[in-house]
């Protein structure tokens, strides 16, 4: 009898241990992958540990998504904000040229932070663009900057992907191919606030793929989740958040190469070199400018302003009603003399108008094709997301069946 009791006790203990092990493994599956050694996560004490979600009331995750990072307490959050503030007035050192490469979020950052106005910083960015633009246009602009010879060393700071998360594999392969020729730092794609079919979970997966590369990586995604962020439309950030991201990039550069940041100062380049730098930068900005055609452009001066303007002329002291016969004759002669000129001008204006209409039609067609391309990319991204969810559900179902079979076998 005692022998049977011992066997029963051992069996029950084994089942309990098996359940503990299985539960532990399933819980571990929900954790994010460990970052690569080159990943820089901005922590309150400068460490590279991943920290957390914000306490600002902003909801960084779409409805139904799991929290991607553990919360941090108020004291750690304040330390992190103080560290971000500590880089105000600093910039990467003068011995290297830095080229920021991105989309509309970097365009906005350049406007807010004046990146391209610093002697050794350049901006190559365009609204609404992603992998195709980077591969077909941005790389040639980057080569043009580097070939200027203004600096002996160059570093690329790249933040692309929010417009085409579905091209994740292409980005990873391209960065892998380029790392032998360029000194590159990757910046995480940053979170949204409910924008179309974009989700922070999808963005996190994209970032996880970037972390697999043996490249320096600055995690401003976790930085924003830790300290809060605000957007103007769900996708593009307000000024305070834009400055926070820029400061986070500066801190990341300092963590990667201590001593990188220096007090920002002018005079890094000579007048001739600075003129050359500005010429190249302004030309690239002009090439990358996003032109949106207005269907009903606003008049430079509306009717009320025009009436007020004419009224000031009438009140200027001139006699508008007492025109003399000599003045009338002179005006008539002047009118005849200028008739041919007016006709010629009218013909030229007509030709210019036709040319402008033709260009306008071309722009509309380009915009239509661009919208179709983006819609197709969004559709593909959604299909991939649904396929990934289906695959995970099947995997979960398979695990449950295996666990159930294991339990039945033990019984």
Query: Do the Cβ atoms of 187 and 159 come closer than 8 Å?
Result: yes
Rounded-to-integer distance, Cα 130 and Cα 198, Å: 15
The closest alpha carbon to 410, from 18, 6, 3, belongs to 18
Whether 231 is covered by a domain: the verdict is yes
CA dihedral 250, 252, 257, 261 (to 10 degrees): 20
User: Is residue 183 in some structural domain?
Assistant: yes
For residue 335, being part of any structural domain is answered with no
Q: How many CA atoms lie within 13 A of 150 on its CB side?
A: 30
- Asked if residue 204 belongs to a domain, the reply is yes
**Domain annotation covers residue 52:** no
Range of the domain at 123: 74-288
Length of the chain: 411
pTM of the model: 0.60
Q: What is the 3-state secondary structure (H, E, C) of 327-339?
A: HHHHHHHHHHHHH
CA distance 345 to 341: 6
How far apart CA 220 and CA 226 sit, in angstroms, is 9
Residues 39/187, Cβ–Cβ less than 8 Å = no
Specify the CATH number for the domain of residue 267.
3.40.50.1110
What number of helices (H) and strands (E) belong to the chain?
12, 8
Evaluate whether residue 360 is within a structural domain.
no
User: Is residue 3 a part of any domain in this protein?
Assistant: no
User: Contact, 209 vs 218, CB < 8 A?
Assistant: no
Please give the full DSSP string across 345-370, using - where no structure is assigned.
Answer: HHHHHHHHHHHHHHHHHHHHHHHHHH
pLDDT in tens, the chain (411 residues): 555 566 667 767 766 766 665 554 443 333 333 333 455 656 444 333 333 334 333 334 433 344 455 556 677 888 889 999 999 989 999 999 999 999 999 999 999 999 999 999 999 999 999 999 999 999 999 999 999 999 999 999 999 999 999 999 999 999 999 999 999 999 999 999 988 889 999 999 999 999 999 999 999 999 999 999 999 999 999 999 999 999 999 999 999 999 999 998 778 999 999 999 999 999 999 999 876 644 444 443 445 555 555 555 444 444 333 334 444 444 444 445 445 554 555 565 666 666 666 666 666 777 777 777 777 777 777 777 777 777 777 777 877 777 777 777 776
User: Any idea what the Cα angle at residue 285 is, between residues 159 and 139, rounded to 5°?
Assistant: 50
> What total of structural domains would you count in the chain?
1
* Residue 386, in any domain of the structure: no
Tell the burial category of 385 from Cβ atoms under 10 Å away from its Cβ (0-12, 13-18, 19+).
middle
């Amino acid at each position: 009898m005692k022998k049977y009791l011992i066997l029963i006790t051992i069996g029950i203990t084994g089942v309990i241990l098996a359940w503990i092990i299985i539960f532990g493994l399933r819980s571990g599956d929900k954790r994010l992958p460990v970052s690569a050694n080159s990943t820089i996560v901005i922590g309150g004490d400068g460490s590279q540990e991943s920290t957390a979600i914000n306490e600002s009331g902003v909801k960084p995750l779409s409805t139904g998504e799991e929290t991607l990072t553990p919360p941090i307490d108020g004291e750690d959050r304040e330390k992190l904000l103080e560290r971000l503030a500590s880089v105000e007035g600093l910039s990467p050192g003068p011995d290297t040229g830095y080229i920021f490469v991105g989309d509309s979020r970097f365009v906005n950052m350049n406007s807010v932070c004046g990146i391209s106005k610093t002697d050794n910083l350049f901006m190559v960015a365009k609204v609404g663009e992603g992998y195709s633009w980077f591969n077909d246009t941005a790389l040639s602009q980057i080569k043009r900057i580097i070939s200027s010879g203004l600096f002996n060393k160059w570093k690329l700071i790249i933040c692309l992907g929010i417009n085409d998360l579905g091209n994740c594999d292409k980005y990873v392969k391209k960065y892998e191919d380029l790392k032998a020729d360029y000194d590159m730092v990757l910046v995480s794609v940053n979170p949204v606030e409910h924008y179309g079919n974009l989700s922070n979970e999808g963005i996190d997966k994209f970032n996880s793929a970037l972390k697999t590369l043996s490249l320096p990586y600055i995690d401003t995604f976790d930085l924003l989740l830790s300290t809060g962020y605000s957007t103007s439309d769900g996708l593009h950030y307000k000024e305070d958040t834009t400055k926070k991201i820029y400061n986070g990039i500066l801190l990341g550069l300092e963590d990667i190469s201590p001593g990188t940041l220096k007090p920002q100062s002018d005079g890094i380049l000579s007048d001739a070199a600075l003129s050359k730098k500005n010429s190249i930068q302004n030309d690239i900005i002009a090439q990358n400018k996003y032109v949106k055609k207005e269907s009903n452009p606003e008049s430079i001066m509306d009717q009320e302003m025009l009436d007020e303007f004419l009224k000031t002329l009438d009140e200027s002291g001139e006699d508008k009603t007492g025109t003399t016969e000599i003045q009338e004759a002179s005006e008539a002669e002047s009118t005849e003399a200028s008739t041919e000129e007016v006709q010629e001008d009218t013909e030229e204006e007509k030709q210019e108008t036709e040319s402008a209409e033709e260009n306008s039609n071309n722009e509309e067609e380009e915009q239509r094709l661009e919208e179709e391309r983006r819609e197709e990319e969004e559709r593909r991204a959604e299909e991939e997301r649904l396929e990934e969810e289906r695959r995970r559900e099947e995997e979960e179902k398979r695990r449950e069946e295996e666990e159930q079979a294991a339990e039945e076998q033990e019984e």
